[in-house]
């Protein structure tokens, strides 16, 4: 079998839970640690225990707004949606988090989680006690840099959609960004499943659900992509990249 | 072409065994009571979540019939009490009230079909009310290929009423004929003249119906090639756009009405297949294309065109061009196919009414398709509609290695290949002209829920003699 299509993980990755000495292959931090010669036994010497959590099923919450902040979590498998609910009860989607990405970073400056995090499909997580990882980060500049990078990426992503973009640009940017993130984790960049519902995508992109479908249908008619149920295949990568470029600031 | 040139008696006997008609895979016996209203709601919600949600097809089941046809295996109620429809429609509207809100409003209805029973047990005024109620609750497409179709019993509808149906928006009709041979009509308790049938077909045409289908049945009691040939000639002369030639399955232990049929009046399997071949010859000579299973269509009919471009699909209503839609079944016994789920309403009217009177969605069983079910359903669809297995596409879509995944099925296919029903080539499985008459047997090889082989086991050496 060739490159896995998200969310079907490569069986080699799924099977790879790491062990006392090795990191899981989806670990968001392994590179930072290993580059400083810190393997898992070195980490356990520092009492940085990593909790594997899950599987959580679609609709289960990982944390809710106002819960006491204890840990950041890296997604090992599946998709996590973060969102807040406004005073009128309307949901606002903040982001979607894929394998290798971290949730809970926006809680760092407070005592409580400032948003909700819910599993969209079957999700596996690694939880890191935040106080402990910050101690570790102080000793490992690489880890600190990695944390800052993840943090700024989180902020950057949220800012992307603030601009005055068309529906076409928003959707193209969404698909291109998703494709790149999946490619980084070894998934196929051209074929993947949208694990989030249409209303979630629409909410995240500040569009009406009908608009999401209308634009996708038009993209499909133009041969830019193909949609079959939840599965998307990107066919006209260049066109999508061109549309997405201003949004993704390239 | 005589029977013997296509099939030997021996071959015929081996393949003449009951099997599903694959209007769904998995088939209804796999549905389970674990699947109820909550699961249906979830399935509907998930289907709304697709980036481009599928369009909707609606099916309305009208269970009543004025008179019992003895061959019938449908879910129906024989009554002459026309007032029963009011009580039925009241429940149907309740079901529409409960069901419609489950689906996002921007999902267009591309097809509405009335089946039965006898849908024209309802008066045109009642049918108008049903269509209008549905239009209020669902978003009907304005596209010219949006269909409103109905199964008609020509004995109980007048040309004037056809004009009323056309005014409501009906644009396709399917007429039950079965056989014009008076002896057969007597044996199945369905006396229907050529004149009244032709009058209805002509009224459909005069009122702008896009397509008219005629149903015939082979294998009925007292049926013989001469009489059936006359029926076929008569039908061909009227030239309906589509003709379905169904096989009669005699299952008196399952269908009470069939107990009125004397088993000794039934044609032998040889005669029965002869009748089918007669139909195939006559219809194809007359310019009809064989679509598959039991369906024929004129080349300019949408069904034939859809098959040519690979857009043909098969569901509970038979073959359809509306491939990419979720099916919502309304009424007693109706089956829905939403997203990756099947679900069915109670088959008895008391339970169906009871659920609705209590304010519940009347689902009594169903199932959620596993990845394996979806793969096999997809494969069987292609077999039934395109006459081939798209190996490369399935491997890619489901991330499997076809030969190892279907090693068992391929082994079961071997004898069928030897009998000339399928052609097995590297990367390619195609159904032969002969195989198209035995599509079920071929599909059965891929059915995970059947543990028997597709033919009655015959020792391999017996054929060498």
The continuous run of DSSP H or E covering B91 comes out as helix B84-99
Helix, strand and coil percent figures for chain B, each rounded to 5: 45, 20, 35
Which residue in A99, A70, A62, A53 sits closest to A195, CA to CA? A99
- Cis peptide leading into residue B335 (ω within 30°): no
Which residue in A100, A54, A97, A95 sits closest to A76, CA to CA? A100
Partner residue opposite B49 with nearest CB, options A8, A198, A220: A198
ipTM of this predicted structure: 0.84
Whole-structure pTM over 0.80, yes or no? yes
Q: Which two tokens stand for residue B129?
A: 């009310």
pLDDT band for position A23 (cuts 50, 70, 90): low
Q: What is the pLDDT of residues A217-249, one digit of tens each?
A: 999 999 999 998 899 999 999 999 999 999 887
Is the minimum CB–CB distance between A3 and chain B shorter than 8 Å? no
Q: Would you say B342 and B31 are in contact if contact means Cβ atoms under 8 Å apart? A: yes
Q: Are A198 and B399 inside 8 Å of each other by CB?
A: no
- If one compares B92 and B277, the residue with the highest pLDDT of the two is B92
pLDDT at B461 over 60: no
pLDDT at A39: 66
Q: Would you say A23 and A33 are in contact if contact means Cβ atoms under 8 Å apart? A: yes
Q: Which two tokens stand for residue A214?
A: 């209308």
A72 vs chain B: nearest CA distance in angstroms?
A: 29
Is the minimum CB–CB distance between A209 and chain B shorter than 8 Å? yes
> CA B457, CA B453: separation in Å to the nearest integer?
7
Average pLDDT over residues A77-100: 92
B401 vs chain A: nearest CA distance in angstroms?
A: 8
pLDDT band for position A43 (cuts 50, 70, 90): low
Cα dihedral sign, B108-B111-B117-B118:
positive
Q: What is the pLDDT of residues B29-47, one digit of tens each?
A: 899 999 999 999 999 999 9
Average pLDDT over residues B53-59: 96
Q: Where are the beta strands (DSSP E) in B369-452?
A: 388-389, 422-425, 428-431
Q: Are B49 and A5 inside 8 Å of each other by CB?
A: no
Checking DSSP bridges between strand B313-315 and strand B318-320, what pairing results, if any? antiparallel
pLDDT at B9: 67
Chain B residue with CA closest to A216: the answer is B52
Q: Are A209 and B106 inside 8 Å of each other by CB?
A: yes
Q: Identify the residue among A188, A194, A205, A229 best suited for mutation to test binding to B, counting B beta carbons within 10 A and taking the highest.
A: A229
Average pLDDT over residues B306-334: 83
Buried b vs exposed e over A15-26: b needs ≥16 C-beta within 10 Å? ebebeeeebbbb
Mean pLDDT over all residues of chain B?
90
């Amino acid at each position: 079998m060739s490159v896995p299509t998200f969310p079907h993980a490569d069986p080699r990755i799924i099977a790879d839970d790491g062990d006392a000495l090795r990191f899981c292959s989806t670990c968001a931090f392994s590179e930072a640690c290993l580059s400083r010669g810190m393997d898992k036994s070195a980490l356990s010497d520092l009492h940085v225990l990593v909790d594997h959590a899950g599987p959580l099923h679609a609709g289960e919450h990982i944390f809710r707004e106002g819960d006491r902040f204890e840990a950041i979590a890296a997604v090992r498998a599946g998709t996590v949606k973060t969102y807040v609910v406004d005073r009128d009860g309307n949901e606002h989607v903040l982001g979607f988090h894929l394998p290798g990405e971290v949730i809970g970073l926006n809680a760092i400056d407070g005592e409580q989680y400032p948003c909700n995090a819910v599993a969209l499909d079957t999700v596996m997580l690694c939880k890191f006690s935040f106080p402990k990882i910050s101690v570790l980060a102080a000793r490992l500049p690489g880890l600190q840099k990695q944390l800052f990078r993840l943090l700024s990426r989180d902020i950057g992503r949220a800012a992307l959609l603030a601009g005055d973009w068309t529906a076409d640009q928003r959707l193209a940017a969404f698909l291109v960004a998703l494709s790149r993130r999946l490619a980084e984790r070894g998934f196929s960049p051209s074929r993947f499943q949208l694990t989030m519902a249409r209303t979630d995508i629409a909410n995240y992109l500040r569009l009406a659900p009908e608009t999401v479908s209308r634009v996708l249908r038009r993209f499909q008619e133009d041969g830019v992509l193909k949609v079959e149920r939840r599965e998307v295949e990107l066919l006209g990568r260049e066109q999508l990249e061109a549309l997405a470029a201003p949004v993704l600031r390239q | 072409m005589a029977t013997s040139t296509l099939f030997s008696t021996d071959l015929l006997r081996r393949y003449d065994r009951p099997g599903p008609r694959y209007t769904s895979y998995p088939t209804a016996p796999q549905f389970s009571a674990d699947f109820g209203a909550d699961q249906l709601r979830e399935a509907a919600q998930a289907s709304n979540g697709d980036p481009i949600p599928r369009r909707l097809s609606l099916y309305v089941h009208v269970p009543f019939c004025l008179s019992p046809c003895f061959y019938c295996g449908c879910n129906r109620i024989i009554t002459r009490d026309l007032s029963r429809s009011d009580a039925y429609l009241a429940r149907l509207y309740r079901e529409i009230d409960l069901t419609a809100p489950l689906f996002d409003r921007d999902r267009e209805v591309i097809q509405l079909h009335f089946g039965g029973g006898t849908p024209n047990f309802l008066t045109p005024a009642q049918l108008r009310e049903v269509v209008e109620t549905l239009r209020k609750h669902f978003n009907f497409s304005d596209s010219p290929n949006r269909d409103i179709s109905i199964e008609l019993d020509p004995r109980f509808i007048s040309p004037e009423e056809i004009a009323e149906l056309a005014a409501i928006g009906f644009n396709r009709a399917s007429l039950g004929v079965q056989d014009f041979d008076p002896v057969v009509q007597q044996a199945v308790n369905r006396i229907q003249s050529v004149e009244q049938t032709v009058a209805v077909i002509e009224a459909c045409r005069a009122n702008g119906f896009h397509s008219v289908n005629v149903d015939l049945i082979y294998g009925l009691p007292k049926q013989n090639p001469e009489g059936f040939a006359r029926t076929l000639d008569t039908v061909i002369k009227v030239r309906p756009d589509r003709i379905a030639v169904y096989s009669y399955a005699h299952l008196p232990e399952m269908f009470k009405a069939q107990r009125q049929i004397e088993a000794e009046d039934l044609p032998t399997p040889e005669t029965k297949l002869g009748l089918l071949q007669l139909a195939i010859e006559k219809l194809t000579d007359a310019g009809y294309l064989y679509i598959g299973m039991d369906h024929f269509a004129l080349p300019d009919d949408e069904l034939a065109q859809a098959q040519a471009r690979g857009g043909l699909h098969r569901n509970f209503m038979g073959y359809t061009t509306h491939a990419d839609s979720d099916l919502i079944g309304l009424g007693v016994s109706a089956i829905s196919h939403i997203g990756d789920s099947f679900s069915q309403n109670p088959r008895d009217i008391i339970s169906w009414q009871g659920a609705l009177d209590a304010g519940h969605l009347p689902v009594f069983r169903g199932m959620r398709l596993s990845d394996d079910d979806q793969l096999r359903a997809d494969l069987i669809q292609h077999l039934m509609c395109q006459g081939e297995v798209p190996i490369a596409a399935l491997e890619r879509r489901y991330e499997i290695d076809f030969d190892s995944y279907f090693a068992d099925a391929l082994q079961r296919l071997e004898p069928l290949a030897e009998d000339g029903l399928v052609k097995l080539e590297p990367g390619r499985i195609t159904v032969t002209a002969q195989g198209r008459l035995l599509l079920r047997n071929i599909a059965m090889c891929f059915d995970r829920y059947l543990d028997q082989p597709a033919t009655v086991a015959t020792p391999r050496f017996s054929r060498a003699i």
